[in-house]
Amino acid sequence: MTASRAGRAAAGGFTLVEILVALLVLGLLVAGLGRGLRFGLQAWDRATAIAGEGDALDALDRALRGLVAQAHPGTPGQPAPFRLLPGGLGFVTRLPDQPEQPGQPVEALLLLDARQRLVLRTRPWRHAIARNPAPFAETELLRGVAGFELAFWEAGQGWSGRWEAPNLPALLRLRLRLAAGHWPDIVVAPGLDRP
């Protein structure tokens, strides 16, 4: 054994090349772990966003069902205040969670506007025609709606896109076509939840 090797073996150290190789391997491991962690965080964020969208759509579905189920059926001698509008539906209902006006009926317009938003316009409902009606308050329900279709169930005739009867239809089907994704049809019986 040569004297230089014997001295290095006795010192127990590493050469510069061995240290550089170890640092290179450690750097590759850290880079791989960083990429894996970044991918995991991106997947977590996407899953959280999808779950949040699902919760929002579920809440909107329940709200639309509740509004239509609370539709005013009319009174004897007075037809139901329920009409089909171009691009929407007009009816009288009760809004949930209105502490300032609990149980007060509102005139509601459910419309698809020019900016592809499903909006709900409401104002207090008067039983008589007002000289100066209150302006509608607008609430955006959903963005990115490519289409909005209404259909009404008529006994013996099935689904129809027209409704001109003086009473509420037995069933109403709301079909929303979203720009990104699919929305199941909402089928509800108007006036079902009326006291």
Residue 9, domain member (yes or no): no
- Cα distance between residue 106 and residue 84, in whole Å: 17
Residue 160, domain member (yes or no): yes
Residue 71, domain member (yes or no): yes
What pLDDT is stored for residue 99 in this prediction? 55
What are the tokens at 166?
């003086």
- The 10 Å Cβ neighbour count of residue 121 is 18
What pLDDT is stored for residue 3 in this prediction? 57
Structural domain harbouring 123: 58-188
What pLDDT is stored for residue 15 in this prediction? 92
Residue 12, domain member (yes or no): no
Residue 37, domain member (yes or no): no
The total number of structural domains that make up the chain = 1
Residue 174, domain member (yes or no): yes
What pLDDT is stored for residue 100 in this prediction? 58
- The 10 Å Cβ neighbour count of residue 116 is 15
Residue 40, domain member (yes or no): no
DSSP H helices in the chain: 3-11, 16-69
- For residue range 140-187, list pLDDT tens digits in order: 988 888 888 899 988 788 898 888 888 888 899 988 888 877 778 889
Residue 87, domain member (yes or no): yes
